Amino acid sequence: MTPTQGIKRMESISHYLTQEHVYCDDLFAEAENDVDQGDWKAAEQAFRLFHATTLHHFTKEEETLFPAFEMASRMTGGPTYVMRQEHSQMRDAMQAMADALAGRDGERYLGLSETLLMLMRQHNMKEEQMLYRMCDQALRGEAQSLIARMGADQAVAHEA
């Protein structure tokens, strides 16, 4: 089930985006397992879905959630700035993983995946424990419309 399929009317921003983190983590683990087993075709397919879904998640945050939060809180140089920087680091790591996968370099891919896993865990913890809760507070009246906007194009990432 995709995160959007589980949306309930009164769902919070934190719940919605945390469920996306779980989904992306599951896709990441699937790709890593496929590489570890040397199943390159399955690995490419799993990584492609992980990569597209994760980039789509970043886009939702950067283009919808973060601007709404910045406007409501009047904070532009704080947590959203840090999250954008971390998204950039993770994009770079994912590109390096894609390159390793294309070259069938399992050892390099798995080494890079360890680095990305550490980055994702730290990043997700900051979002889930701090930023999303701040968004729930600051955007209380807009939560449902923001979730709807972020979920409206969910199918795009899952077609990758």
How much is the pLDDT for 151?
Answer: 86
Report the C-alpha gap between 153 and 132 in whole angstroms.
Answer: 20
Report the C-alpha gap between 65 and 70 in whole angstroms.
Answer: 9
DSSP secondary structure of 17-33:
HHHHHHHHHHHHHHHHH
* 137 has pLDDT over 80: yes
Task: Sketch the domain layout of the chain as residue ranges.
Answer: 3-153
How much is the pLDDT for 10?
Answer: 52
How much is the pLDDT for 25?
Answer: 97
* 127 has pLDDT over 50: yes
Predicted confidence (pLDDT) per residue in 63-113, tens digit: 999 999 999 999 888 999 999 999 999 999 999 999 999 999 999 999 999
**3-153 CATH pick, 1.10.3720.10, 3.90.550.10, 1.10.287.130, 1.20.120.520:** 1.20.120.520
- The answer to whether the pTM exceeds 0.85 is yes
For the chain, how big is the Rg over CA atoms in Å? 16
* 36 has pLDDT over 90: yes
Report the C-alpha gap between 50 and 115 in whole angstroms.
Answer: 16
| 159 confidence band (pLDDT: 50, 70, 90) | very low
